[in-house]
Amino acid sequence: MDADIRDAIVEEARRWIGTPYHHMADVLGVGVDCAMLPLRVYQSVGLISLDVDPRPYPHDWMLHRSDERYLQNVERFASKVDEPLPGDIALFRIGRCLAHGAIVETPHMMIHAQLEAGRVVRREIVRTDPKLAGFWSMIHG
């Protein structure tokens, strides 16, 4: 059962690859950001209720404040794990707090909405990246 839901998460995340980056957007193929991508992926597979929506949020809150908004939302549904499995979420420190998330595709690859790339991309998880804060999982079993 866990493998099925993990496969479904990764399959859904892959569908979003190439979607343009757009702050607070959440439309496949049109626009999405790093907060809405994991949310819509997890909602699509039934792990998070469709009525959960963290918007609105400023695009640069993490540069001026230390409150852990992103982390608080993640921890409503997920727990920190030592080693990631497909379908887990990787969190990164951007500015003053954790403010970027990616879906773990494999233990070495992730899918995320990257502002610098201007779209959803597949990238290597670099374990030595000082911005990498760790991994969280919604699947406990």
Question: Residue 88's domain is classified under what CATH number?
Answer: 3.90.1720.10
Hunting for tokens 């993490």 — which residue is that? Answer: 62
Calpha distance 103→27 (Å, rounded): 17
pLDDT in the model for residue 64: 55
Residue 94 C-alpha from the chain's centroid:
13
Q: Where are the alpha helices (DSSP H) in the chain?
A: 2-15, 36-44, 61-64, 69-75
Q: Summarize pLDDT for 21-79 with one digit per residue, the tens.
A: 999 999 999 999 999 999 999 999 999 999 988 777 766 655 556 667 788 889 999 99
Q: Which pLDDT score is estimated for 66?
A: 60
pLDDT for res 99: 85
Q: Percent of the chain at pLDDT above 70?
A: 91
Question: What is residue 62's three-state secondary structure?
Answer: helix
- The pLDDT assigned to 59 comes to 65
Whether residue 98 is predicted with pLDDT greater than 70 in this model: the reply is: yes
91: domain range?
A: 2-50+59-137
pTM of the model: 0.92
pLDDT at 63: 54
Number of domains in the chain: 1
